[in-house]
Structures are given as structure tokens and as C-alpha cells.
Amino acid sequence: METAVNASGRETEVLIVGAGPTGLALATMLVRSGVVPVIVDKLTTGENTSRAAVIHAHTLEVLEKLGVSERLGERGLRLARFSLRDRDRVLVRLHFDTLPTRYNYLLMLPQDMTEKILAERLAEGGGAVRWGCTVEALSETPDGVRVSVVSGAGKETIRARYVIGADGMHSVVRQTAGIGFTGQSYEESFVLADVEMAWDHGREEVMLFFSPAGLLVVAPLPAGTYRIVATLDNAPEQAGVADVQALLDTRGPTHGVARVSRVQWSSRFRLHHRVADHYRRGRLLLVGDAAHVHSPAGGQGMNTGLVDACVLGRILADVVSGRRDDTHLDTYETLRRPAAQQVLQLAGRLTHMAIMKSAPQRFLRNSVLGIVSQFPGFRRSLEMNLSGLSRRAAAELSQ
């Protein structure tokens, strides 16, 4: 349990660095298990941008333990279908409404809303984020970790038994632990934009267009807007109406109206595919983007981090409360690192297929997909993979 030690220092069983979606989910899981962690974030308040916009079925199953799945479901837009296309031609159409789960849909919800719902749940359990606190350095001692934190109030040292890096791709916890982040960074970047537009192609389906110019995703969002995602060699920092329109005109459907009237939010980011070599070193552990980053094709990043957080939360609660010994923490990497590797493979394949440039390669891809998509087993395997349900075992702990 968190205990104040003196005016300049604190002591806690668990310190979480980062209050993005994975840090918030982990803190909520711990609080619900009777362990109140200290959770700090260098931002002065929670992020308010859209970013990850889809929550998959398996994530909702796992988030039931936090009591947030229903709330998320009420706020989001439920979609039954996902299609892979080459301009007007549907190559593969997936049906999520036939999946073996009570969450048989793709839930579209901007990430700031997801974080808000998680933060509310954390507060209901008695937890609170310490915003405006930057972790500058960590050092392991025989019985814990000393963490230097800087805030508006000055510097302080927090002593923790375990420190969790939920601090994103540039994780200071991962760097301090000396854990490698193996993989590659690519030249290509992604443009993201939430737009208002006239769109003749319905609001029931996420469409992923393959195009020699690059990948394009069009996904309906709640409140009548659409998420556009596209790969671009030199993406503008802020995409405008003309930029998004050009993407739709050159990569999207050739018939029907697709006319952008307003860009609500836009961002760009570089493509990285990396997994941490280990998820644990001693008393330091990693979750979410601190442990894995990849292409947003398939919308898996935040989802994988949320499942990591729930699994780690249960394991940590057992260790901290003395029900299991410290070696039980190794289970976390055994379960979750292979899951991240599978997700990287899925996102990598989708991206690779989507951006094939040569005409013969594209012809071959479209022909093969046209044939294999006739087999229900192929479609089901892709649906299970995208929804995360094929990775259920990677979230199950033996009692």
C-alpha cells in the first residue's frame, strides 16, 4: 500500500511511470485488487487527442475485470465489418458479428475518451494520477528502486518495490533497465486525420484500401465523423482538407461521393517495428508502447498495451500481497512477449501487402486474396487475429 514517509520522500509497493491508457489500466487493476500504486505522468493533464480509435473484442473481454467494457461500449460506435480493398474492388470482407464473443464488433472510440473512462474508474477505486511529475532517473538498491521525480514543487525521491514503465516508446524505465528495443524504424510516416465528410459508402464498415501510392484506411467514428489513416513518404505535420481529399481521390473508391469538408484533428507519426528484448529486469517491468511499437494497420497498439496492463496487474497484485513469490512476475513476459510478436507480424504483413508498388506484385496479391477469401477458414483466422481473440491464451493466468 502507498505510504507517505516524510515530507521529501515517499514509499510505495508499485510506482507506475506514465498515465497513458496502459498506465491507467494497470493502476485501475491494482486498485481493484487492493494495491494502491503511485502513478505519475510528466504531462500536466491527460492527453486530449484522438490517436488509437478502435478497441477490439478481446480487449473488451479483458477490460471486464476493470468494470469499464460496458461504459466504453456505450460511448463508442459498434461496427460489424472490415474490408480489404483495391479501389472499388472488395478483396476480403470480414464479419465481426459472427465472432464467438459477446463483444462481436469493432468498437470505434477516440483514445482520449478511452483514457477518460479509465481515469474515472481509477478515481472511483481511490487511485489518482500525479500529473506534472517527470521521472528523471532510477536506481536499483538491494530492496527496491529509488526514483527521482521532478515536479513544480521541486525534486523528490520515491522508493518503490517495483517500478513499471508505462512511459511509451522512449521509455526511461526501459533505458535504465538496459533492455534492448530490437527492430527497425522506417522512413515512411503515417498521416492521421479525423474528418467531417460526405461519404457515399456507408458507416457500417472499416475499409482498408491497398494502393501503389500507399495504404489508406477510412473508418467511421462516433458523432458522424471519420478517421483517415494513410502512409505517406513526406507527411505534412498537420494535414489539411486538400491533403486528405487528395488521399481519398488517389487511393479510395473511384465512384460515389467522398468529399472532405473539415479536418477536426490531425497528426503524423513515423513507422517503427520494435519489441523489447525482455519485459522485466529485476524490479523494473515494461507495458504498452514501452515494450512494443508497430504500424497502426489493424489498430493493435493500444489494444495490446491494455491487455498487457490487465495481465501484469493481476500478477503484481498477487506478488505484492504475498500470495505468490517474486518469480511469478516472470510469467508476465512468458505470456505477453509472444503476443506482441504475433501482433507485430500481423501489422507488418498488412502494411507490406497494402503498399506493394509493382503491378505484377499487386496482381498476384489481389488474385491470391480473391481465392483464399472464398475459404471461411481463412476469413475466420483473420477475424480472430484482428479481434485479438486468437490471443486469448496469452492473457490467461493459471490460479
Ligand X SMILES: Cc1cc2nc3c(=O)[nH]c(=O)nc-3n(C[C@H](O)[C@H](O)[C@H](O)COP(=O)(O)OP(=O)(O)OC[C@H]3O[C@@H](n4cnc5c(N)ncnc54)[C@H](O)[C@@H]3O)c2cc1C
Shorter beta-carbon distance to ligand X: residue 167 or 383:
167
Shorter beta-carbon distance to ligand X: residue 76 or 296:
296
**Separation between Cα atoms, residue 194 and residue 394, nearest integer Å:** 33
Note whether 183 and 277 are within 8 A (CB): no
Note whether 116 and 45 are within 8 A (CB): no
- Helices in the chain by DSSP H: which ranges? 21-32, 57-63, 69-75, 111-124, 172-177, 241-251, 301-320, 330-354, 359-372, 376-387
Q: Which residues pair with 281 in a beta bridge?
A: 284
Q: How remote is the C-alpha of 199 from its chain's centroid?
A: 27
**Min dist. Cβ of residue 325 to ligand X (A):** 27
**Min dist. Cβ of residue 264 to ligand X (A):** 14
Shorter beta-carbon distance to ligand X: residue 272 or 324:
272
**Separation between Cα atoms, residue 299 and residue 227, nearest integer Å:** 12
**Chain residues that interact with ligand X, rule: CB under 6 A:** 17-23, 40-43, 51-53, 111, 134-135, 166-168, 172, 192, 267, 269, 288-289, 296, 299-303, 305
**Min dist. Cβ of residue 322 to ligand X (A):** 28
Shorter beta-carbon distance to ligand X: residue 16 or 384:
16
Q: Which three cell numbers stand for residue 315?
A: 500478477
**Min dist. Cβ of residue 291 to ligand X (A):** 8
Shorter beta-carbon distance to ligand X: residue 271 or 366:
271
Shorter beta-carbon distance to ligand X: residue 347 or 365:
347
**Min dist. Cβ of residue 286 to ligand X (A):** 9
**Min dist. Cβ of residue 371 to ligand X (A):** 30
CA-closest candidate to residue 173, choices 289, 262, 49, 57: 289
Q: Which three cell numbers stand for residue 102?
A: 459477446
